[in-house]
Amino acid sequence: MIFVDTSAWFSSVVPSDSCYLAATTWISGNTQPLLTTDYVVDETLTLLKARRENSRAIALGDAFFSGNLATIYYFTEVDIQLTWQVFRQFSDKDWSTDCSSKVVMEKLGVTQAFSFDRYFRHFGLIAVVP
Protein backbone atom coordinates (compact mmCIF):
# COMPACT_ATOMS: atom_id res chain seq x y z
CA MET A 1 0.00 0.00 0.00
CA ILE A 2 1.28 3.47 -0.85
CA PHE A 3 0.30 6.60 1.05
CA VAL A 4 -0.72 9.54 -1.18
CA ASP A 5 -0.16 13.10 -0.02
CA THR A 6 -1.90 16.34 -0.99
CA SER A 7 0.95 17.40 -3.27
CA ALA A 8 0.59 14.24 -5.36
CA TRP A 9 -3.21 14.44 -5.61
CA PHE A 10 -3.02 18.11 -6.59
CA SER A 11 -0.32 17.53 -9.19
CA SER A 12 -2.20 14.60 -10.67
CA VAL A 13 -5.26 16.69 -11.57
CA VAL A 14 -3.89 20.13 -12.44
CA PRO A 15 -2.20 20.08 -15.87
CA SER A 16 -0.49 23.44 -15.27
CA ASP A 17 1.28 22.11 -12.17
CA SER A 18 5.03 21.57 -12.63
CA CYS A 19 4.77 17.97 -11.36
CA TYR A 20 1.71 17.02 -13.44
CA LEU A 21 3.59 14.84 -15.93
CA ALA A 22 5.52 13.02 -13.20
CA ALA A 23 2.32 12.49 -11.19
CA THR A 24 0.19 11.21 -14.04
CA THR A 25 2.98 9.00 -15.36
CA TRP A 26 3.51 7.45 -11.94
CA ILE A 27 -0.21 6.90 -11.35
CA SER A 28 -0.73 5.27 -14.73
CA GLY A 29 2.07 2.78 -13.99
CA ASN A 30 1.22 2.06 -10.37
CA THR A 31 -0.33 -1.28 -9.50
CA GLN A 32 -0.34 -1.04 -5.70
CA PRO A 33 -3.38 0.05 -3.65
CA LEU A 34 -3.40 3.70 -2.59
CA LEU A 35 -4.09 5.07 0.88
CA THR A 36 -4.90 8.60 1.95
CA THR A 37 -6.61 10.21 4.94
CA ASP A 38 -9.66 12.31 5.51
CA TYR A 39 -7.27 15.14 6.45
CA VAL A 40 -5.46 14.87 3.10
CA VAL A 41 -8.76 14.73 1.23
CA ASP A 42 -9.89 17.90 2.98
CA GLU A 43 -6.57 19.66 2.42
CA THR A 44 -6.47 18.69 -1.27
CA LEU A 45 -10.02 19.75 -2.05
CA THR A 46 -9.55 23.00 -0.12
CA LEU A 47 -6.31 23.72 -2.01
CA LEU A 48 -7.99 23.09 -5.36
CA LYS A 49 -10.87 25.39 -4.44
CA ALA A 50 -8.46 28.09 -3.19
CA ARG A 51 -6.62 27.92 -6.51
CA ARG A 52 -9.91 28.33 -8.35
CA GLU A 53 -9.92 24.76 -9.58
CA ASN A 54 -13.54 24.18 -8.52
CA SER A 55 -14.47 21.68 -11.23
CA ARG A 56 -11.33 19.66 -10.56
CA ALA A 57 -12.11 19.73 -6.83
CA ILE A 58 -15.59 18.34 -7.48
CA ALA A 59 -14.31 15.66 -9.87
CA LEU A 60 -11.56 14.58 -7.47
CA GLY A 61 -13.98 14.59 -4.53
CA ASP A 62 -16.36 12.37 -6.50
CA ALA A 63 -13.43 10.03 -7.25
CA PHE A 64 -12.38 9.95 -3.59
CA PHE A 65 -15.84 9.12 -2.32
CA SER A 66 -16.62 6.56 -5.02
CA GLY A 67 -14.24 4.22 -3.20
CA ASN A 68 -12.39 3.35 -6.41
CA LEU A 69 -9.48 5.80 -6.20
CA ALA A 70 -7.93 5.08 -2.82
CA THR A 71 -8.73 3.83 0.64
CA ILE A 72 -9.51 6.78 2.91
CA TYR A 73 -8.37 6.40 6.50
CA TYR A 74 -10.61 8.31 8.93
CA PHE A 75 -8.96 9.69 12.06
CA THR A 76 -10.04 8.63 15.52
CA GLU A 77 -9.69 10.73 18.64
CA VAL A 78 -6.61 8.68 19.57
CA ASP A 79 -5.06 9.42 16.16
CA ILE A 80 -5.67 13.12 16.68
CA GLN A 81 -3.95 13.01 20.07
CA LEU A 82 -0.98 11.16 18.51
CA THR A 83 -0.87 13.76 15.74
CA TRP A 84 -0.69 16.49 18.37
CA GLN A 85 2.22 14.68 20.01
CA VAL A 86 4.09 14.51 16.69
CA PHE A 87 3.32 18.18 16.05
CA ARG A 88 4.80 19.10 19.45
CA GLN A 89 7.75 16.72 19.20
CA PHE A 90 8.79 18.02 15.79
CA SER A 91 7.94 21.68 16.36
CA ASP A 92 11.21 22.61 14.67
CA LYS A 93 9.83 21.23 11.37
CA ASP A 94 7.39 22.98 9.05
CA TRP A 95 5.06 19.98 9.06
CA SER A 96 1.31 20.57 9.04
CA THR A 97 -1.05 17.82 7.88
CA ASP A 98 2.17 15.86 7.45
CA CYS A 99 2.11 15.14 11.20
CA SER A 100 -1.14 13.24 10.80
CA SER A 101 0.18 11.43 7.73
CA LYS A 102 3.22 10.29 9.71
CA VAL A 103 0.94 8.91 12.44
CA VAL A 104 -1.16 6.90 9.99
CA MET A 105 1.81 5.58 8.04
CA GLU A 106 3.48 4.38 11.24
CA LYS A 107 0.25 2.93 12.63
CA LEU A 108 -0.45 0.94 9.45
CA GLY A 109 3.17 0.08 8.65
CA VAL A 110 3.15 1.93 5.34
CA THR A 111 6.69 2.57 4.11
CA GLN A 112 6.08 4.29 0.77
CA ALA A 113 4.59 7.69 0.03
CA PHE A 114 3.63 9.25 -3.28
CA SER A 115 4.44 12.88 -2.64
CA PHE A 116 6.24 15.90 -4.02
CA ASP A 117 6.46 17.36 -0.51
CA ARG A 118 10.06 17.37 0.72
CA TYR A 119 8.91 16.88 4.31
CA PHE A 120 8.10 13.23 3.73
CA ARG A 121 11.82 12.61 3.37
CA HIS A 122 12.24 13.91 6.94
CA PHE A 123 10.19 11.00 8.31
CA GLY A 124 13.03 8.52 7.84
CA LEU A 125 12.55 4.95 6.59
CA ILE A 126 9.93 6.18 4.11
CA ALA A 127 10.54 5.64 0.40
CA VAL A 128 9.13 8.59 -1.52
CA VAL A 129 7.94 8.03 -5.07
CA PRO A 130 8.06 8.89 -7.93
**68-127 pLDDT tens trace:** 999 999 999 999 999 999 999 988 888 888 999 999 999 999 999 999 988 878 877 689
In this prediction, residue 30 carries a pLDDT of: 97
Question: Domains in the chain, start-ordered, CATH in brackets?
Answer: 2-129 (3.40.50.1010)
Which amino acid is present at 48? L
pTM of the complete model beyond 0.85: yes
CA atoms within 13 A on the CB side of 103: 27
The pLDDT of residue 122: 81
- Residue range 32-65, pLDDT digits in tens: 999 999 999 999 999 999 999 999 999 999 999 9
| CA distances from residue 122 to 42, 69, 119 in whole angstroms, order as listed | 23, 27, 5
CB 60 within 8 A of CB 13: yes
CA distances 60 to 43, 106, 112, Å, are 12, 26, 22
Average pLDDT over residues 13-18: 98
pLDDT at 90: 84
Q: Looking at the chain, how many residues does it have?
A: 130
